[in-house]
Amino acid sequence: MAHLINRNVLLGVSGGIAAYKSAELIRQLQELGAEVRVIMTRGAQQFITPLTLQALSGNPVHTELLDSEAELGMGHIELARWADLLLIAPATADLIARLAIGRADDLLTTVALATAAPRLIAPAMNQQMWHDKACAANVERLESLGMSLVGPAVGEQACGDVGPGRMEQPAVIAASAAALFQSGLLQGKRVLISAGPTQEALDPVRYISNHSSGKMGYALARACADAGARTTLVSGPVNLEAPAKVKRVEVQSALQMLDQCVELSAESDIFIACAAVADYRPAEVQTQKIKKGAEFTSLELVRNPDIVATVSSTNPRPFTVGFAAETNDVVQYARGKMQRKGLDMIVANDVSKQDIGFNSDENAVTVVWPDGEHSLAQSSKLNIARQVVELIAGQIKPES
């Protein structure tokens, strides 16, 4: 069944009598699992109040482009980035015309230009307006720009006319929205992902670890599940909830993660090693807390096993994807790492950049495979994850 679990839907409501249906549409979207925020044009507010849609969505309703408080944080850009889908319902003839020529004269049209998310339009107007050649040309223009349409439906209209132009029913619109995300790129595949840091104990209260938040691995798990894969996440200690439809196995140390990954990879078609595994662990773990004593002390470390190389060397083995966190010559080092460890693909990112990578909500990576590479521009980690999934799907042989 199609769903919108974990999806952010930005609902744009323009000024037509069908605006009252937006209340039911919010409920339908939420029942499919979506988080909904609403933008209303001034015309829409003449038909239904922002307070009504705020109460139903559970989020403040956005109405003005030049809202001084919101714009302190570039509010319209944040909305555009937040959205996984911009859904405009109802879309009046006037709004369709403004979208067709790229106007940005209110909040809704500005966000429509600023977002990289898919845009789904539900037209609503008089049947004669729908049949007008100018409107037809505008609709054709929207489709040429990559926007999708749902409806309009045929039936009796508020003015008494009968014909096409009614806004499609909310349940149909919500189902169309969900269908946009059912890629099926990994349908039926079994995907194993490692994520987060490992913690290597020194004593009962101290450990060695790193700054990994696990956000990239968890985004990949969500993207794989959304693509139809049966997804298992082997996770080090993080402050994140497991994505919907993803099985999580919690571990702490590198050795625990190794054991789980080797065992589970035997039943997996794809293994994505995204975890930031500690390279070393203490040679001996103290059973009691180490007391502060001498001015200087030393710690003996032993090397941890290489999890992705271990999985890659098994026979048979899953399609194996590694990650390379580098600070210079990123692609060169990543390609060398891929060859040494016998990987099918590697995702390289520059962790020297402060605005991406560890603990950030955004990333920028280069995906490398034996006969190619593809750079993904800075975006949310979830958007990066979805693009990585597309590249993985494109490299998997049918028999994999």
| Residue 72: both structure tokens together | 């302190």
What are the tens digits of pLDDT across the range 213-257?
999 999 999 889 888 889 999 999 999 989 878 999 999 999 999
> Domain holding 23: CATH number?
3.40.50.1950
What are the tens digits of pLDDT across the range 19-68?
999 999 999 999 888 889 999 999 999 899 999 999 999 999 998 876 65
Question: Using an 8 Å Cβ cutoff, are 211 and 358 in contact?
Answer: yes
Q: How many CB atoms lie within 10 A of CB 113?
A: 13
Task: Report residue 170 CA to chain centroid gap.
Answer: 24
Q: State the pLDDT at residue 357.
A: 59
Instruction: State which amino acid sits at residue 260.
Output: Q
Q: State the pLDDT at residue 71.
A: 46
Q: What value does the mean pLDDT take over residues 312-332?
A: 89
Question: Is 391 found in the same domain as 285?
Answer: yes
Question: Is 22 found in the same domain as 156?
Answer: yes
- Residue 185 inside a domain? The answer is no
Q: State the pLDDT at residue 280.
A: 95
Question: Is 209 found in the same domain as 144?
Answer: no
Question: Is 68 found in the same domain as 35?
Answer: yes
| Mean pLDDT estimate for the chain | 88
Q: State the pLDDT at residue 382.
A: 84
What are the tens digits of pLDDT across the range 170-215?
989 988 888 887 667 888 899 999 999 999 999 999 999 998 999 9
Judge whether residue 93 has pLDDT over 80.
Answer: yes
Judge whether residue 326 has pLDDT over 80.
Answer: no
Q: How many CB atoms lie within 10 A of CB 64?
A: 16
Domain of residue 390 covers: 190-395
pLDDT band at 400 (very low <50, low <70, confident <90, very high): very low
Q: What value does the mean pLDDT take over residues 359-381?
A: 87
Question: Is 224 found in the same domain as 174?
Answer: no
What are the tens digits of pLDDT across the range 280-301?
999 999 999 988 888 888 889 9
Q: How many domains does the chain have?
A: 2
Question: Is 80 found in the same domain as 219?
Answer: no
Percent of the chain with pLDDT over 90: 52
Catalytic annotation, residues: 159
Question: Is 210 found in the same domain as 171?
Answer: no
Question: Is 195 found in the same domain as 147?
Answer: no
Question: Is 141 found in the same domain as 262?
Answer: no
Judge whether residue 69 has pLDDT over 60.
Answer: no
Question: Is 213 found in the same domain as 103?
Answer: no
Q: State the pLDDT at residue 154.
A: 79
pLDDT band at 258 (very low <50, low <70, confident <90, very high): very high
Q: What value does the mean pLDDT take over residues 263-278?
A: 96
> Domain holding 308: CATH number?
3.40.50.10300
- Residue 184 inside a domain? The answer is no
Q: State the pLDDT at residue 66.
A: 65
| Residue 128: both structure tokens together | 């004669």
Question: Is 154 found in the same domain as 209?
Answer: no
Question: Is 159 found in the same domain as 35?
Answer: yes
